[in-house]
Structure 1
Amino acid sequence: MRRYGQSLYQPRSPVARCVNFLCAVLLTLILVAGVILFVLWLSLRPHRPKFYLSDFSIPNANRQSAGLANLPMHFTVNEHNPNQKIGMFYDEILASVFYGDQLIATGPVMNPFYQQPKGDTPVQGTLLARGPVPTDPSWGRFAGEMSAGSVEMRLVLTSKVQFQVKVWDTKHHHMKVECDFTMQGDGTLRPQDKNSQCTLYF
């Protein structure tokens, strides 16, 4: 039993004080290292590119009673790299145009290229339409929508992308860009869809 006046304070041994000090230093170093790694991860984490449909046209589309076969399709999609310190390497870009589920044009439109950080590159292409033609089941609906001045279509871009982070490159990512838009009766892009952002899939 503790006697009256005996101190409750029990001095810690030097070994215990040394262990507590080392634990405090270790925890501080772990915290500082965690903050540094988090900041580095934020600065080096690649952000996906962005794509905007700038233009699409099929000249003389409304004057073709025999269908769209062999008519040129012109388009421009603006690509933007939002990363401040990360560049991107693109493989060859393949474009396809769909009317509903029907593929009406496809082909390569751009050779491999490097996109610098915060850079912009217009992806421009011309494809020859393979349809629809009057013998296609979809021709009646397509012709009716052309007469009404509103044809819903979809432009798809596919490629592979590799991010360049400082002095090393990441793995290749399969990229798919879908631009849904409406074509007017004269074969031009509806004004509301100009510069609309496309959907990106990785």
Structure 2
Amino acid sequence: MPRNYRLPMYNRQSPAIRCLNFICAFILTLILIAGIILFVLWLSLRPHRPKFTLTDFSIPSLNRQSGAANLPVKFTVNEHNPNQKIGIHFGYVYGSLYHDDDLIASGRFADPFFQVPKGDTPVEGELTASGPTPTGQAWPRFAAEVGAGSVPLRLVLNSTVLFQVRLWDTREHHMKVDCEFKVGGDGSLLQQYKNEPCTLYL
């Protein structure tokens, strides 16, 4: 007599388990949607760093035989805020000018200012050189470079920045801008270094 094989009956889930599965799926969906929203907000509110370019520089009468001491150091560095909706607060701006590793001018030259989104500000400064002088060790090389019409210099700017995101400000950051360039024998910026981007450390 043949055996009677029966297929196992389908075990339907209880209403409590189905309700629990629905709640878990709903919560996971909410978490996913919230994560996407937060990611989009982070992208739109994430501050982009400002950009700096050296637009002008001069040390008048650099080629005089008595050295560069007490000569005015004049420069303009353009600051650009690339953010669409984020303003930037800058603190006092300090400048230092180097020839090789020798500091030849330094001081504070700009007051705090606010940069609107997508704005540009020409930051103008003037310092007073303390050297090189004919009696200093760096003078022979400096004088030779002036005579050759190509003097390598480095301008360093230091300040603090705060990013204004909507109605609140981020924490304060220290900012360092490093501009490397060359001037001619007359002390003016060589044309190929005009509007040269500076390196920003933030």
Q: TM-score range by the shorter chain?
A: over 0.9
Aligned to 1:103: 103
Amino acid paired to 1:198:
C
Shift of 1:121: 0.4
Q: Which runs of 5+ in 1 are unaligned?
A: none
Amino acid paired to 2:105:
A
User: Distance in 2 between the 1:137 and 1:24 partners?
Assistant: 76
Aligned CA RMSD, in angstroms, stands at 1.1
Shift of 1:8: 4.9
User: Distance in 1 between the 2:106 and 2:150 partners?
Assistant: 22
Shift of 1:127: 1.1
Aligned to 1:59: 60
Aligned to 2:13: 12
User: Distance in 2 between the 1:10 and 1:139 partners?
Assistant: 95
Q: Which runs of 5+ in 2 are unaligned?
A: none
- Structure 1, 136-145 or 185-194: larger mean CA deviation: 185-194
Which secondary structure state, in structure 2, belongs to the residue aligned with residue 157 of structure 1? strand
User: Distance in 1 between the 2:197 and 2:8 partners?
Assistant: 75
Shift of 1:7: 4.4
Which secondary structure state, in structure 2, belongs to the residue aligned with residue 11 of structure 1? coil
User: Distance in 2 between the 1:107 and 1:77 partners?
Assistant: 16
User: Distance in 2 between the 1:33 and 1:5 partners?
Assistant: 49
Percentage of identical aligned residues: 60
User: Distance in 1 between the 2:41 and 2:69 partners?
Assistant: 53
| 1:107-135 deviations in Å (ceiling 9; x for gaps) | 11111111111111001011111110001
The TM-score normalised by the length of structure 1 is 0.95
Aligned to 2:70: 70
| 1:72-101 deviations in Å (ceiling 9; x for gaps) | 111010001111111111111011111011
Shift of 1:136: 0.9
The TM-score normalised by the length of structure 2 is 0.95
Q: Which runs of 4+ in 1 moved over 3 A?
A: none
Shift of 1:55: 0.8
Aligned to 1:146: 146
Check if 1:94 corresponds to 2:82. no
Aligned to 2:179: 179
Check if 1:26 corresponds to 2:47. no
Amino acid paired to 1:34:
G
User: Distance in 2 between the 1:120 and 1:161 partners?
Assistant: 15
User: Distance in 1 between the 2:54 and 2:21 partners?
Assistant: 62
User: Distance in 2 between the 1:44 and 1:96 partners?
Assistant: 33
User: Distance in 2 between the 1:20 and 1:101 partners?
Assistant: 69
